[in-house]
Amino acid sequence: MFRKTTLALLAGASSLIAVPHHAMAIDAAAPAGPAVIYANQGAPQPPMRTAYAQPQRSNMGGGFIEFLFGDAPSSQGYSPQPMYQQQPGYYGNRQLPPMDPQQQMLRQQEEAAGDPAQRPFDPRYEKQLVDYSGKEGAGTIVVDTPNKFLYLVQGDGRALRYGIGVGRPGFTWAGVKTISAKKEWPAWTPPPEMLARRPDLPRHMEGGPENPLGARAMYLGSSLYRIHGSNEPWTIGTNVSSGCIRMRNEDVIDLYGRVNVGARVVVM
């Protein structure tokens, strides 16, 4: 009786050890899963495949049998590795990885192009002293509409040149005028023709930094046209107005202090 019981126990132990080897052989023969490679991560090493039979049985003993059947790491230091590692910023609402510097620069340039106020002022339109070979005398203002420059003739073959914004297509003009009035921080009352095109405009605006006539205005004869400042310096060098000649505020202040009422203005 004792001998039969011993043989039965040995046979049972042999069957416990043989089953996992069979399970591992089947799992090793299974086709490999898809490999996922993330940025800044080398190719993954082939993961160790582990067969777990009856994972709910966690108290089946230590050593080799716990390694095969247990849920927890064995006392010999084995720790199963996950097949794939979640990358920061890929799952859930976690923070995205930092953008490539070149890509970030391109995005900033695109945003600046979409927002006119972020466009840099073109240095070609900075005030500067240049040669002048025209026939106009000192103190005359010459407006070069096609090239978007205003010249204040100095005499002796020299002129101060400023960048300007001019009329949109259909609003440009040419002729000779005189400065009939000068005003600091002028108020603005849009004419009826402008209100007909833009009924959303205010009927009147007091002078100030938000006023579209800017810091100074020089009125040209009895016309509706003016040489005036602007709180939109990025429009200098463009066809933007309804016929007025606009300058940066710092430039119109400079010009305002150099010319008098009655000065001749030639618009080309």
204 has catalytic annotation: no
Q: Which of 21, 22, 204, 228 is catalytic?
A: 228
| Nearby residues of 192 by Cβ (< 8 Å), 6 or more positions away | none
Instruction: Judge whether 21 counts as a catalytic residue.
Output: no
Output the DSSP codes for the chain: -HHHHHHHHHHHHHHHHHHHHHHHHHHHHSPPPPP---TT--PPPPPPP---SSTT---S-STHHHHHH-SSPPTT---PPPSS-PPTTTSTTPPPPPPPHHHHHHHHHHHHHH-GGGSPPPGGGS-EEEE--SSPPTT-EEEETTTTEEEEEEETTEEEEEE-BEEPTT----EEEEEEEEEES--B---HHHHHH-TTS-S-B-SSTTSTT-SEEEEETTSS-EEE--S-GGGTTSEEESS-EE--HHHHHHHHTT--TT-EEEE-
Catalytic residues, by residue number, are: 228, 244
